[in-house]
Amino acid sequence: MPRRPLPDISIRQLEYLLAVADAPSWAAAASEVGVSPSALSQGLAELERRLGVQLFESVGRRRKLRTTMTPVLDHARHVVALTCDVVSWADRLRLANTGYVGLGMIDVAAVVHFPDVLRGFRSEHNDVDLRLTVAPSQSLLEDLQHGTLDLVVCVEPPHKMTGIEFVPLLIEPMIVYGPPGLPIDGPASWGPWVLFPADSHSRNLVINRLHQLGASTEVAAESHQADVLREMVLLGLGWTVLPRSQGESERGELSVGEQILERQLVVARRAGAVTDPAVDELARRLIRQPATGNE
């Protein structure tokens, strides 16, 4: 294809054309666009020169767009609309894409379920500054609401939260663990407990379930960290309920009870947020990560 340079029809000229198409006068059109009538007149004369057509006819001292020039007017509308779209997109991108992704995860997500996802993302988006915060669900969701974090992997909260949307990731079985060598009988013999703190979503789930089972709900000690809870059980300070991925390790010395409930891990995002491509990509990878075989 022979490459003749296209005439440089400027967005500005097209805006002028749209303005005069519907304005009562060119002075009004110029005011609407925010330039002098002279600039508008000269800009449209230049557009005529570049296209090589006569866009207007004189009606007395007024100028009116020729009906035969409708295709140019349609073109102007179309190109200006497309330009508005891409500028709007760029504005949103600039605001959102600082090259930084703030990710919050509860510990089991970071350590057990998604370390591969994080590694893969980092190696393929080394231009993105991925900052990981490991904390309890409640705390993470607050940071998400405040804008400190962009994406959170946590336990599904008991209630909907305004402005936050959730996508399910995986379901974790929660199992009762007792001190080593202690046989586990019926629920009435379970406890006392070492659990996550009272403001923890998992804690609420566990207490409610124990109630239902007719087991004691006395809590002897608390910690946000599953490892600490395991050590407390090992020391005989109490029983706990943990996901299998955190309750059992190479040093599998705790007495393993039954699965009493399940908890849903989700990825959380501020609803209606400007979509940062990097955050989008990371969310996609989390969502499509197969479950880690801890069913």
Residue 255, binding choice from DNA, its own copies, none, Cβ under 5 to 8 Å by partner class: none
Q: 44 contacts which partner out of its own copies, DNA, none, CB within 5 to 8 A by kind?
A: DNA
Q: How far is CA 205 from CA 84, 156, 227, 256, in A?
A: 49, 10, 19, 19
Task: Tell me how far apart the alpha carbons of residues 213 and 229 are, in angstroms, rounded to a whole number.
Answer: 22
Binding residue for its own copies, selected from 49, 62, 64, 78, defined by CB under 8 A: 78
Taking CB within 5 to 8 Å according to partner kind, which of DNA, its own copies, none is near residue 272? none
| Among the listed residues 22, 45, 62, 90, the single contact to its own copies using CB under 8 A | 90
Q: Torsions phi, psi of 180, nearest 5?
A: -60, 140
Q: Which stretch binds DNA (CB under 7 A): 60-68, 177-185, 202-210, 242-250?
A: 60-68
103 φ, ψ (degrees, to nearest 5): -115, 130
Tell whether residue 31 is a contact of DNA (CB under 7 A).
no
Q: Are the C-beta atoms of 172 and 293 separated by less than 8 Å?
A: no
Site for DNA (CB under 7 A): which residue of 43, 136, 243, 257? Answer: 43
Amino acid at 290: P
**Considering the rule CB under 8 A, would residue 36 count as an interface residue with its own copies?**
no
E strand residue ranges, 91-163: 100-105, 129-134, 151-155
And the tokens for 113?
A: 């379920």
Identity of the residue, 84 or 271, whose beta carbon is nearer to its own copies in the bound complex: 84
Q: Which is nearer to its own copies, 85 or 185 (CB)?
A: 85
Phi, psi of 163 (to 5 degrees): 80, 0
Dump strand ranges (E) for 32-163. 56-59, 62-65, 100-105, 129-134, 151-155
- When asked if residue 57 is in the footprint of its own copies (CB under 8 A), the reply is yes
Which partner from the list DNA, its own copies, none does 39 bind, CB cut-off 5 to 8 Å by kind? DNA
The amino acid at residue 5 is P
At 104 the three-state DSSP class reads: strand
Q: Would you call 252 exposed, middle or buried from its count of C-beta atoms within 10 A (0-12, 13-18, 19+)?
A: exposed
Residues in binding contact with its own copies, number by CB under 8 A: 39
Q: Which of 45, 93, 167, 182 binds its own copies (CB under 8 A)?
A: 93
Q: Which of 19, 35, 108, 261 binds DNA (CB under 7 A)?
A: 35
Tell whether residue 12 is a contact of its own copies (CB under 8 A). Answer: yes
Is 86 one of the binding residues for its own copies (CB under 8 A)? yes
Q: In terms of CB distance, is 84 or 198 closer to DNA?
A: 84
For the CB of residue 12, give the shortest distance to its own copies in the complex, in Å.
6
User: Order of strands across the sheet with 164-178?
Assistant: 129-134, 100-105, 151-155, 255-270, 164-178, 240-243
Q: How far is the CB of 8 from DNA (least distance, A)?
A: 6
CA pair distance 154, 295, nearest whole angstrom: 18
Q: Is residue 42 a contact point for DNA (CB under 7 A)? A: yes
State the residues that interact with DNA by CB under 7 A: 8, 10, 12-13, 25-27, 34-39, 41-46, 56, 60-63
Footprint of its own copies (CB under 8 A): 3, 5-12, 15, 32-34, 51-53, 57, 68, 71-72, 75, 78-80, 82-87, 89-91, 93-94, 97, 127, 277-278
